[in-house]
């Protein structure tokens, strides 16, 4: 498999967490916690699993595990999928994402280095390869959905992403014990009858939606008598059906069916929320008529914006397709209580509007120059009796007193 085909595409389910591009990735401690395959498998399983956030403390911890690498392959999502086994034959999965899928991630450089080290030791393709090589693997704890993956721990725990790998571990390992028992589904005994686990499908009427817009989630179990559990919705649903769902953030829905033989592998579908437009506008709370000011505008995820004044006061520019933070010029031509509205339009999720209020006041009349030696009263009139500023006692007594000469 060529390098280009190995890096052809990235994944969907909990992908931000797998690649440390999620908003919680900065919470992951750089301290390394030495542990074992058995300990990780003993951690209680977690459900529901958030699409783009971490489950503390497991998914905020870097673990170090010394184990036997028993198989590896390149997955369709460009991950290198490693199966690690302890001496008892217990396994967990570790994964090294493609550096091209973790660009901008908090641990992007660590992932790229681990991938390079693995490539220098082993040749990876889309075909499963078995081996028996002792390794020390370091990486972040991660809960995955149980979709029948080979080597998966029963609680779905993985080391994902791998941030470092050594092919010369200090601890010496024995080869894992391989069980020669043929697994039998619960309820299937050794008699002549067979016991079939159910399978379940899960789908959305649309895999993308705007925030809060309802979509239909449908499910179907292969066994009509096997109830379905959908994490975050209900633990007991009919074997087939549908319901209306919606979210303000991207979310992964997972379901499994169960009958007397046991539980099915999980089915997973992801609802990706399309970013809607956002905007803000701010400026001075008051202006005098005839004055101008710059209003600060911020626009994101919008194809176009327009601004208008309730009083009809000029705004320049009054529309555009630019995004980010910028200024528009507002002129207070008319007085009164004005409301400036900015409308931003997103081609996928429609329009929103934001407003800023500005009080435009009428200018106060300026005092007129007075003849020399004449007293000006505080109500703006001239003293009817006094003309000498040196003797102004009692002047303007009915006009608010003397305010100037």
pLDDT digits over 126-155, tens only?
999 999 999 999 999 999 999 989 999 999
Determine the pLDDT at residue 386: 76
Q: Tell which CATH architecture fits domain 278-361.
A: Sandwich (2.60)
Q: What is the pLDDT of residues 310-352, one digit of tens each?
A: 999 999 999 999 999 999 999 999 999 999 999 999 888 889 9
pTM: 0.70
Domain 3-166 coded CATH 2.40.50.140: yes
For all residues of the chain together, what is the average pLDDT?
88
d(CA 43, CA 3): 36
Instruction: Check pLDDT > 90 for residue 191.
Output: no
Is 288:360 a contact under the CB 8 Å cutoff? yes
* 3-state secondary structure at position 39: helix
Instruction: Check pLDDT > 80 for residue 3.
Output: no
Q: What is the DSSP string of 87-125?
A: TT--EEEEEE--GGGSTT-TTHHHHHHHHHHHHHH----
**Among 182-191, 209-218, 386-395, which is the least confidently predicted range?**
182-191
Q: Answer whether 3-166 and 278-361 agree in fold.
A: no
Closest by CA to 32, choosing from 127, 128, 103, 107, is 107
Please give the CATH number for the structural domain made up of 200-274.
2.60.40.10
How is the chain split into domains, by residue range? 3-166, 200-274, 278-361
Is 68:173 a contact under the CB 8 Å cutoff? yes
Q: Which helix (H) or strand (E) holds 40?
A: helix 37-42
Exposed, middle or buried, 47 (CB in 10 Å: 0-12/13-18/19+)?
middle
């Amino acid at each position: 498999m060529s390098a280009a085909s190995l890096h052809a595409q990235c994944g969907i389910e909990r992908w931000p967490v797998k690649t440390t591009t999620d908003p919680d990735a900065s919470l992951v401690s750089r301290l390394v916690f030495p542990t074992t395959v058995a300990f990780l498998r003993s951690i209680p399983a977690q459900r529901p699993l958030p699409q783009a956030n971490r489950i503390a403390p497991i998914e905020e911890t870097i673990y170090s595990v010394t184990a036997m690498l028993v198989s590896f392959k390149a997955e369709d999502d460009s991950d290198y999928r490693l199966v690690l086994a302890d001496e008892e034959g217990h396994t967990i999965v570790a994964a090294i994402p493609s550096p091209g899928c973790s660009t901008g991630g908090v641990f992007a450089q660590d992932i790229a280095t681990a991938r390079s080290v693995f490539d220098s030791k082993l040749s990876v393709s889309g075909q499963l390869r078995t081996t028996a090589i002792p390794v020390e693997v370091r990486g972040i704890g991660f809960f995955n959905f149980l979709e029948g993956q080979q080597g998966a721990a029963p609680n779905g725990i993985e080391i994902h992403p791998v941030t470092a790998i050594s092919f010369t571990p200090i601890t010496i390992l024995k080869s894992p014990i391989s069980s020669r028992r043929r697994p039998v589904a619960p309820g299937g005994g050794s008699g002549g009858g067979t016991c079939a686990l159910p399978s379940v499908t899960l789908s959305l009427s649309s895999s993308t939606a705007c925030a809060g817009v309802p979509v239909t989630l449908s499910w179907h179990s292969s066994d009509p008598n096997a109830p379905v559990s959908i994490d975050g919705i209900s633990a007991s649903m009919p074997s087939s059906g549908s319901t209306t769902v919606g979210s303000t953030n991207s979310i992964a829905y997972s379901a499994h069916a169960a009958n007397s033989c046991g539980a099915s592998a999980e089915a997973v579908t992801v609802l990706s929320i399309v970013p809607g437009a956002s905007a803000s506008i701010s400026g001075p709370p008051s202006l005098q008529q005839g004055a101008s000011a710059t209003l600060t505008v911020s626009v994101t995820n919008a194809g176009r914006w327009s601004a208008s004044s309730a009083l009809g006061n000029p705004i320049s520019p009054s529309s555009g397709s630019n995004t980010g933070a910028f200024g528009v010029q507002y002129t207070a031509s008319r007085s009164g209580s004005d409301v400036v509205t900015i409308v931003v339009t997103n081609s996928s999720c429609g329009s929103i509007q934001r407003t800023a209020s500005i009080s435009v006041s009428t200018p106060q009349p300026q005092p007129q120059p007075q003849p020399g030696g004449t007293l000006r009263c505080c109500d703006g009139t001239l003293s009817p009796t006094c003309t000498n500023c040196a003797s102004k006692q009692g002047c303007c007594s009915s006009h608010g007193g003397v305010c100037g000469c």
